[in-house]
């Protein structure tokens, strides 16, 4: 709040950071606090934004973020989206003019906990080279999917279309670590394991051309489909250094109880999960986040001294 966010926005940002740290997702936790503060202090983000809902059809909702942060917008849009999905079987939340620098699993998880399957996508300024290219063109363009599991934690897939999340590369650079092969290229287009060189050059999509095609898919879904900037446009429309500009996010919620030809969709999903886990060496996506929570509750959160100093300065 010292940096210009009102109570409603600051509370939801804090909740988002807390959830990330609780789950061991440090690249989306307190590490991101300086960026929130920087966007407020620069005036690029509206810290007192009040998201508004526009009901386009019975199953299509537009949320106007008014250049505010995504956490509060997601809270405002959640109930109407759930109501529409339950009534129609499927519904979409088209979020516009929002700044999203967190993970996507919190919003999809909340929908799965309400008994819905969910897909979410968003984009960022260019950081990832297209297939065959050497210069940034796409954002890391993440997408997430969540499946409800009754009284169990939802199954959640949350992934960047880049080989590594931007925050993971930034943390590696901060801590002096190398990154795996295939994460990125230097400014001359040469493969490198040096995160600092990747930050100056370009990240690579996962899986080569297939990952780059998925990045293009996300760009189309949250850019032209919503009337918001695609990745390349964001570099011309005020994106911050970490790739954030006011743009779009799309969330699709689906009710298995309405769409499935069976009356036991959740149990059917459990059969699939059971068979998957019976394969040697397999695990569910998101399992590490679930496993990290008891450890965090018992041991707390550790952050680098440099980040601690930055947070103290922000609080001052």
Answer whether 5's CB lies under 8 Å from 33's CB.
no
Q: Which of 78, 127, 125, 118 is nearest to 99 (CA)?
A: 125
Question: What burial letters (b/e) apply to 150-176, b meaning 16+ CB within 10 Å?
Answer: eeebbbbbbbbbbbbbbbbbbbbbeee
Which residue, chain included where needed, has tokens 């202090």? Answer: 41
Which CATH number is 52-162+205-302 given? Answer: 3.30.1370.60
Q: For residue 243, which of 145, 160, 159 has the smallest C-alpha distance?
A: 160
Residue 67 pLDDT more than 80? yes
For residues 162 and 218, is the Cβ–Cβ distance under 8 A? Answer: no
Nearest to 30 by CA among 44, 42, 15, 41: 15
Q: What is the pLDDT of residues 15-41, one digit of tens each?
A: 999 999 999 998 889 988 988 998 898
Rounded-to-integer distance, Cα 280 and Cα 236, Å: 48
191-192: strand order across its sheet: 191-192, 184-185, 202-203
- Residues 263-289: pLDDT tens digits? 999 999 999 999 999 999 999 999 999
Distance in angstroms (rounded) separating the CA atoms of residues 236 and 104: 24
Q: Give the pTM.
A: 0.93
| CB neighbours of residue 58 within 10 Å | 10
pLDDT digits (tens, 9 = 90+) for 183-200: 999 999 999 999 999 999
pLDDT of amino acid 135: 97
Q: 117: part of which helix (H) or strand (E)? A: strand 117-122
Report pLDDT for 94.
99
Task: Compute the residue count for the chain.
Answer: 316
**How far is Cα 230 from Cα 252, in angstroms, rounded to an integer?**
19
Rounded Cα–Cα distance for residues 223 and 95 (Å): 11
Average pLDDT over residues 162-167: 92
% helix, strand, coil for the chain, step of 5: 45, 20, 35
Give me the long-range contacts of 172-175 (CB less than 8 A, separation at least 24). 173/199, 174/304, 174/306, 175/304
pLDDT tier at 137, thresholds 50, 70, 90: very high
Tell me the C-alpha distance between 98 and 85, whole Å: 22
Q: Tell me: the pLDDT tens digits for 195-220? A: 999 999 999 999 999 999 999 999 99
Could you write out the DSSP letters of every residue in 207-261?
TTHHHHHHHHHHHHHHTTTTTS--HHHHTTTT--TTS--SEEEEEEEE-HHHH-S
What integer pLDDT is reported at residue 55 of this predicted model?
A: 98
Backbone dihedral angles phi then psi of residue 145, each to the nearest 5 degrees: -140, 135
Q: Compute CA 16 distance to the chain's CA centroid, rounded to the nearest angstrom.
A: 11
* DSSP per-residue string spanning 170-213: HHHHHHT----TTSEE-TTS-EE--HHHHHHSEE-BTTTHHHHH
Task: Provide the pLDDT for residue 3.
Answer: 79
Q: What residue segments make up the domains of the chain, in order of their start?
A: 52-162+205-302
Q: How many CB atoms lie within 10 A of CB 228?
A: 24
| Mean pLDDT across 138-160 | 97
| pLDDT the model gives residue 100 | 86
φ, ψ at 280 (rounded to 5°) = -60, 135
């Amino acid at each position: 709040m010292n940096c210009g966010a009102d109570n409603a926005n600051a509370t939801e940002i804090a909740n988002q950071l807390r959830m990330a740290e609780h789950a061991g997702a440090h690249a989306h936790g307190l590490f991101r606090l300086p960026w929130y503060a920087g966007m407020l202090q620069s005036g690029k983000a509206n810290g007192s934004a009040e998201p508004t809902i526009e009901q386009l059809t019975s199953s299509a909702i537009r949320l106007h973020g008014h250049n505010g942060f995504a956490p509060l917008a997601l809270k405002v849009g959640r109930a109407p989206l759930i109501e529409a999905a339950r009534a129609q079987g499927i519904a979409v939340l088209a979020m516009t003019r929002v700044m999203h620098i967190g993970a996507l699993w919190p919003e999809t998880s909340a929908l799965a906990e309400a008994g819905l399957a969910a897909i979410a996508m968003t984009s960022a300024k260019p950081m990832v080279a297209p297939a065959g290219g050497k210069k940034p063109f796409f954002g890391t363009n993440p997408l997430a999917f969540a499946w409800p599991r009754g009284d169990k934690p939802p199954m959640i897939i949350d992934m960047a279309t880049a080989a590594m999340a931007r925050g993971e590369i930034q943390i590696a650079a901060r801590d002096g670590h190398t990154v795996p092969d295939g994460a990125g290229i230097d400014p001359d287009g040469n493969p490198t394991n040096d995160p600092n060189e990747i930050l100056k050059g370009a990240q690579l999509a996962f899986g080569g051309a297939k990952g780059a095609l998925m990045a293009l898919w996300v760009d189309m879904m949250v850019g032209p489909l919503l009337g918001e900037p695609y990745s390349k446009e964001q570099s011309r429309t005020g994106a911050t250094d970490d790739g954030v500009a006011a743009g779009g996010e799309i969330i699709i919620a689906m009710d298995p109880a309405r769409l499935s030809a069976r009356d036991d969709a959740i149990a059917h999903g459990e059969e699939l999960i059971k068979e998957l886990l019976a394969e040697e060496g397999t695990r569910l996506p998101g399992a590490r986040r679930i496993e990290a929570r008891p450890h965090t509750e018992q041991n707390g959160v550790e952050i680098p001294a440099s980040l601690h100093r930055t947070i103290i300065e922000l609080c001052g």
